[in-house]
Amino acid sequence: MTTLKRRTFLSAGAAAALGTVSGIAQAKSFDPMPAQWDENFDVIVIGSGFAGLAAACEAKNQGAGNVIVLEKMRSAGGNSVINGGIMSVPGSAFQKALGIKDSLELLAEDMIREGLGYNYPEKVSAMTKAALPTYEWLVKEIGVEFVDGKVGQEGGHSVPRHVYTTNGSGSGIVSKQLEYAKKIGVPVRLRCYVEAIIRDSDGRVKGVKVRDGYRFGKPDSGKVKYLKAGKALVLCYGGFGADVNFRMKFDPKLTDKFETTNQPGATSELWREASRIGCNMIQTDWIQCGPWNSPEEKGMGIALYFAQGAAATMGIWVNTATGKRFINELANRKVRADAVINNNNKGQPCIALADQNAVDLTINQTRKGILDKQLERKVVHKFDTLEAVAAEYKIPLDELKKTIDAYNAALAKQSGDEMGRPFTKNAKPMGTGPWYCSLLSPKVHHCMGGVETNSLGQVIDISTDKPIPGLYAAGESTGGVHGAVRLGSCATMDCLVNGRIAGANAAKESAWS
């Protein structure tokens, strides 16, 4: 009886939803088409980061014809070019050589657990499957160079699984993507700002209105032009981390007191425009702060490579007021950023702390030369003794010593870390000076939400639940991949894998006329 009732109830609900959707669709209104197009393309890609360049090149290689990448800023690469240059590759040869046991399922589990189950399972599964082939494509086709034999571990991952670009930055990928794009005939047009997406009365996206020769910060600059997308438009415009007003609509805590790691062009205009033309915007209020940034430099900076790469794996993070650790330094970014923010709000600054052994075993191998730069820029500071560290940051010395003793004791037993942090292979007890420190101050880093897409990268219409004809998306502009919390080294994978999927499917669209 209960079962029967339930079925009736559910089927009534399903029918209503269906009817509703078809009812709304007929009332839909769309944009007027321009009297004529100024330029004609087959596939237009908005955004020149990892995802946009991957989408455009894949579209070109799949026979899309005339492909162009539009970038509003005066240089290419968006946030990707200032990204840390790490990428999750489960099952890499490097992992195997180091005897690290990993699997696609384990990566998917990590992503979904830390993403609080907000991830779309089919997207996670598709992405993890494509990670290794995409890495091989990067190396063999695009010519990207990675640090030989090194594998790192970001917070929230169960095992070390990310590779490092040799130049220690996402620019090591973007620069090669740009060379490749040039080689295969995909132009990147800089200072070309997309002011409107044209969705015609038949529901298809057919082009964009741009300001060509746009100067960032001058809204009326550039020449207005209409560009036709004969096959498809691909949205790879990234996040809105630098847009204080817009991000506060979704998370009012993220006021202008929070800096951002993002480049200044990470603003909201195309998020608004995507919503206006009928895209479904999902999970937009999950905006991640990077927990490892330093208040002693602007933007993303370079201190994080110490705080994360050395201190979080072979050192500790310390609350200067108490001399104690306050979080699992390998917890996910949200958990750590929240913990640091709470301490900062109480007037208790936090530092990342590591000794000479720790930096020698980590960043001095994976990011050669970075430590000198960090010291030179005074974002990482060097002290001969622990006493000097305590004096500088006003840390109770006895408590700090107890904290280090406890960490060393647990490390020696390989069990019982007081914060539940897994022990990093080859980690040595802390104690050999000199010591290194950076201050911690979370900055707005990544938008987990975005347009809803299906497994082909097609963008879903809010009214009909069907793909919007001629519209694709990938990367930070999409939602549902990372769920509530993006794990470090998973954005590069997301952008490249899903950029290629979107580009390949965009190329297959039939042309309208």
CB atoms within 10 A of CB 483: 25
Q: What's the token pair of residue 244? A: 């204080």
CB atoms within 10 A of CB 180: 19
Chain residues 49-88 in contact with a copy of itself, contact rule CB under 8 A? none
Binding track, positions 367-406, relative to a copy of itself; x by CB under 8 A? ----------------------------------------
Q: Considering the rule CB under 8 A, would residue 120 count as an interface residue with a copy of itself?
A: yes
Q: What's the token pair of residue 227? A: 């560009």
Q: Report the alpha-carbon distance of residue 160 to residue 150 in Å, rounded.
A: 10
Q: Which is nearer to a copy of itself, 2 or 415 (CB)?
A: 2
Q: Considering the rule CB under 8 A, would residue 246 count as an interface residue with a copy of itself?
A: yes
Q: Considering the rule CB under 8 A, would residue 29 count as an interface residue with a copy of itself?
A: yes
Q: Considering the rule CB under 8 A, would residue 211 count as an interface residue with a copy of itself?
A: yes
Q: Which residues contact 364 (CB under 8 A, 6 or more apart)?
A: 371
Q: Considering the rule CB under 8 A, would residue 423 count as an interface residue with a copy of itself?
A: no
- Buried b vs exposed e over 13-28: b needs ≥16 C-beta within 10 Å? eeeeeeeeeeeeeeee
Q: Which is nearer to a copy of itself, 3 or 513 (CB)?
A: 3
* Smallest gap from residue 29 Cβ to a copy of itself (A): 5
Q: Which is nearer to a copy of itself, 375 or 462 (CB)?
A: 462
Q: Considering the rule CB under 8 A, would residue 454 count as an interface residue with a copy of itself?
A: no
Among 113, 129, 209, 377, binds a copy of itself (CB under 8 A): 209
Q: How deeply is 433 buried, as exposed, middle or buried, from its count of CB atoms within 10 A (0-12, 13-18, 19+)?
A: middle
Backbone angles phi, psi at 59, to 5 degrees: -60, -45
Cis peptide before 434, with omega less than 30 degrees from 0? yes
Could you tell me which stretch among 119-127, 164-172, 366-374, 431-439 binds a copy of itself (CB under 8 A)? 119-127
Q: Which residues contact 365 (CB under 8 A, 6 or more apart)?
A: 147, 150
Q: Considering the rule CB under 8 A, would residue 121 count as an interface residue with a copy of itself?
A: yes
Q: Considering the rule CB under 8 A, would residue 10 count as an interface residue with a copy of itself?
A: yes
Q: Report the alpha-carbon distance of residue 158 to residue 386 in Å, rounded.
A: 31
Could you tell me which stretch among 258-266, 323-331, 426-434, 492-500 binds a copy of itself (CB under 8 A)? 258-266
Q: Considering the rule CB under 8 A, would residue 36 count as an interface residue with a copy of itself?
A: no
Q: Report the alpha-carbon distance of residue 439 to residue 307 in Å, rounded.
A: 8
Instruction: Specify whether the CB–CB gap between 317 and 488 falls below 8 A.
Output: no
* Smallest gap from residue 385 Cβ to a copy of itself (A): 29
Could you tell me which stretch among 257-265, 308-316, 375-383, 489-497 binds a copy of itself (CB under 8 A)? 257-265
What sign does the dihedral 335-336-337-338 (CA atoms) show? Answer: positive
Q: Considering the rule CB under 8 A, would residue 23 count as an interface residue with a copy of itself?
A: yes
User: Is 421 part of the annotated catalytic residue set?
Assistant: no
Q: Considering the rule CB under 8 A, would residue 251 count as an interface residue with a copy of itself?
A: yes
Q: Considering the rule CB under 8 A, would residue 14 count as an interface residue with a copy of itself?
A: yes
Backbone angles phi, psi at 122, to 5 degrees: -70, -30
In the block, residue with structure tokens 């905006």? 287
Q: Considering the rule CB under 8 A, would residue 452 count as an interface residue with a copy of itself?
A: yes
Size of the site for a copy of itself (CB under 8 A): 74
Q: Considering the rule CB under 8 A, would residue 349 count as an interface residue with a copy of itself?
A: no
Chain residues 165-204 in contact with a copy of itself, contact rule CB under 8 A? 195-196
Instruction: Specify whether the CB–CB gap between 147 and 94 falls below 8 A.
Output: no
Q: Report the alpha-carbon distance of residue 411 to residue 430 in Å, rounded.
A: 10
Residue of 333, 336, 367, 500 with catalytic role: 333
Q: Report the alpha-carbon distance of residue 227 to residue 218 in Å, rounded.
A: 21
Q: Which is nearer to a copy of itself, 16 or 184 (CB)?
A: 16
Q: Considering the rule CB under 8 A, would residue 303 count as an interface residue with a copy of itself?
A: no
Q: What's the token pair of residue 380? A: 């990482």
Q: Considering the rule CB under 8 A, would residue 480 count as an interface residue with a copy of itself?
A: yes
Among 74, 96, 223, 249, binds a copy of itself (CB under 8 A): 249
Q: Report the alpha-carbon distance of residue 72 to residue 46 in Å, rounded.
A: 9
Q: Considering the rule CB under 8 A, would residue 149 count as an interface residue with a copy of itself?
A: no
Q: What's the token pair of residue 183? A: 């080689």
User: How large is the C-alpha radius of gyration of the chain?
Assistant: 24
Among 281, 375, 410, 419, binds a copy of itself (CB under 8 A): 281
Q: Considering the rule CB under 8 A, would residue 15 count as an interface residue with a copy of itself?
A: yes
Could you tell me which stretch among 5-13, 37-45, 100-108, 317-325 binds a copy of itself (CB under 8 A)? 5-13
Q: Which is nearer to a copy of itself, 27 or 183 (CB)?
A: 27
Any bridge partners for residue 438, and if so which? 352
Q: Which residues are catalytic?
A: 333
